[in-house]
Every structure is written in C-alpha cells, then in structure tokens.
Amino acid sequence: MSLYTTPKIAGLALLLALASCGGGPKGGAAAGMPDPNAPMPVTDTVVGLSSATFSDQFPGSVTAFQQVNLTPQVTGYVTGIHFKDGQRVTKGQLLYTIDDQVYSANLSNANANIAVQQASVDKAQKDYDRYHMLDKEDAIAKQQVDYADAALEAAKKQLAAAKANANSISGNVRFTKIYAPFSGTLGISQVRVGMAVFAGQSVLNTISTNNPIAVDFNVDQININRFLALQQSQAKVFQIQLSGDSTYSAKGSVALIDRAADMQTGTVKVRLSFPNDHDRLKPGMNATVLVDDHKDALLIPTKAILAQLGEFYVYVIGDSSKVTQKKLKLGNTSGIYTAVESGLNAGDKIVVDGTQNLHEGSKVINQKDMMAAQQAAGAQQAGGKK
C-alpha cells in the first residue's frame, strides 16, 4: 500500500558542516559536548495521494426478516405437538392442538340454541302473517297486529344473537389448533403435552424466517446518502465478521433503511440482506459489519500521528528544516496507514520517526543524510591525516 518515497535533503555541504565534530571558538558547543542547537535526526516522508481500500466497521446484530411468538388464543391443556424442535415448517402446517372438549360442547349448545331461536322466529312469522291477513279483513284488533310485529322482530334479534354466540364459540374451537403463520424455522417448544396454557399469555414457541436473513446496524445521519445510493444500486459490498474474527463467506446488500432517525443518537437503522443457505447465521448473533470503500486519499504512516487531548497532529517539515505542528482530521485507517481528510496537502513533508524529541520550531535532519554526512566527514579526516 505504501506509495511514499523518502526525500533527500539538498545541501550536502551544510550537512557536512552540521555533522563536523571540530569547531573554533565561535562554532557552537565546546569540544566533546553535544550541540543543543544541532538538528534532531528523524525519518520523514512526502505525503501523496494513493488509491486505497478501507473497510468501515459497524457493530450489528443478526435478525430475522419475519419472527413471531406463537401464543394460544384459548385457554386449555396441550394435547398434541406436531413437529420436532428446530424443524423447518411450511405456512399452514399444524403445530399444536389444545383440548377442545369444553369448546366443542359449548358449540353444540350454541347450535341447539340457534335451532330453538329459529323455531321462535318461525312461529312469530306465522303469527305475523295470520294477523296481517285478518287485519286486511278488519277482523282483528290493531293492537294484536302490533304485538305480532314486535314478537317477530324480537325473535329475529334473538336468533341473530344465538348465531353470533355460536360463531364466537366456533372460533374458539378453531383456535384449539395452531398453524404456522408462514414458512420458517421453529425454536425449542416452551410447552409439553399436558401443560396448561392461557389465552394471550403463554408463549408456545417462536417461528422465524432464516433465508435470507437480515443484519441490522446504525449509521450516522450525515452518512445516510452513501447507504441510500448503495440501496438503489443493490451492490453487494457488505461483509460481516462473527465471533472469533471469522468472516462470513457471502456478501450482502441493503434491504431497507428505517423511515426515521433516532432522536437521541442521531443515527438511522440500516438492514442488510444476506443469503443463509447453511443456517450459519442465527437471529440474535452479534456481528461486525464491514463496508468496503475504494477511493483516492492522502495516506500517511499511522506512527507519524500524535494524539493530544482527543486531537491529532503531525510535524510538518518546512523552510530551514524546521518543523511545525499541524492539526489533522483523520479518515479511515488500515492500521499501518491512515487517511487524512484535512490538515495536509500532497507534497507536504512530515516527520515519521523521532517525533518524541521535537517541539514547535525544532530543526531536523534526515537520519540517512546525517549518516552519509558523518561518513563523508570521517573519510575526509582520514585522508587529511595521511
């Protein structure tokens, strides 16, 4: 990934002078003592643009696209379990049965009541027809006709109530059989045959879809346009790491983005879709979402970066080989190299090694150039002695 060259500092004559051990009375430090004004040896590099691939990382969790807790709609004892724990089932498949004796008996009574009420309606209808015929002949008191009308109306309403009651009880009978609401995978049954369950309270089991499967994670709202573009393109650029740093083999794409941002965190939930042919991904698992990002960036060695109170800096070598501290805004990192979003320009020369002894305005010299100057000075002295 490294695209950097270590530049040579021009002016070998100056370097030879700086590296010289001798000196007259006006020449810096006394003989045998280090010169406090001597430049600090460092390694440096020139900042340049480079094509880099980084993976943004987000904490995520595996979840099912569909997941439902199965609860009974009637109270009773479990009389049958018609599957094996962890089994894949299809929509409409019978899963549980609950004792229906009481509900069936109540339904029989309700049907019998319907018959009774139907008989009352039939009788009231006959009275109604007979009295209205006599009324046409003016052979009956008007009050009797009114009584017949009211009796027929009341009988019809009682019949309707009896039918509604029977329908309700019939629903209870149907609810004693619990079917799969969709095709998916069942968990471990929470009840066994003979256990009492209560309407709307007891959880019998959980069913969820498993292929494809979803992974949810949150992104900052300022980056939402990036993920909207990925949703439209359906690009499969997402990977996930599971526990133990194992990377899931298949790649995923954006399935949906939540309708609103979280008011407290300012983040938006993104849901990815991954194939799950071998059931390796289970709802509830933790995962790290990796998003590949390819772009040209200013890259610098990570070890050149200094951290102070949550801010980041580098030493930039300027005129006269003096350093200036520059504040940076950092981007992604690969560990060895880090992208710089602002604070540096292509062509800037920065200190990589030797920063611990520097401060604003320190004078520096490249270590290789210093060694070359010292070797040249040594060779020159040796030649003079001859």
At 104 the three-state DSSP class reads helix
83/188 same-domain check: yes
Please indicate, yes or no, whether residues 188 and 222 belong to a single structural domain of this protein. Answer: no
Phi and psi of 81, rounded to 5°?
A: -125, 120
- Mean pLDDT of the 167-194 span: 90
What's the Cα-to-Cα distance from 333 to each of 251, 289, 347, rounded to whole Å?
22, 16, 20
**289 lies in a domain?**
no
CATH code, domain with 82 = 2.40.50.100
The domain tally of the chain equals 4
CATH (domain of 157): 1.10.287.470
Of the listed ranges 126-135, 223-232, 329-338, the least confidently predicted one is 329-338
Residues 347 and 332 in one domain: yes
For 329-341, what is the mean pLDDT?
79
Q: Answer yes or no: is 288 within a domain.
A: no
Lowest mean pLDDT among 42-46, 57-61, 121-125: 42-46
Write the single-letter amino acid at 294.
H
Using DSSP's 3-state secondary structure scheme, residue 101 falls into helix
pLDDT digits (tens, 9 = 90+) for 214-271: 999 999 888 888 889 889 988 888 989 887 667 888 999 999 999 998 888 889 999 9
Residue with tokens 């049958």: 80
Instruction: Show which of 236, 258, 282 is a domain's final residue.
Output: 282
How many percent of the chain have pLDDT more than 90? 30
Q: Are residues 16 and 107 in the same domain?
A: no
Determine the pLDDT at residue 13: 34
60: in domain? no
63 located within any domain: no
Same domain, 262 and 215: yes
Q: Can you tell me the distance from the alpha carbon of 339 to that of 75, in angstroms, rounded to the nearest whole number?
A: 63
The answer to whether residue 166 sits within a structural domain is yes
Closest to 354 (Cα-Cα) out of 13, 41, 39, 27:
41
> 73 and 18 in one domain?
no
CA dist 95 and 356 (Å) reads 70
Nearest partner of 206 among 224, 187, 222, judged by Cα: 187
Does residue 154 fall inside a structural domain? yes
Residue range of the domain that includes 219: 209-282
- Which residues have CB under 8 Å from 130's CB, separation 6+? 148
Mean pLDDT of 120-127: 87
331 contacts 340 by C-beta, under 8 angstroms: yes
Residue 229's CATH number: 2.40.30.170
What CATH number does the domain containing 307 carry? 2.40.420.20
Whole-prediction pTM value? 0.58
DSSP conformation class of 247: B
Residue 317 lies in a domain: yes
Residues 345-363: pLDDT tens digits? 888 888 888 888 888 888 8
Contact between residue 240 and residue 214 where contact means Cβ atoms under 8 Å apart: no
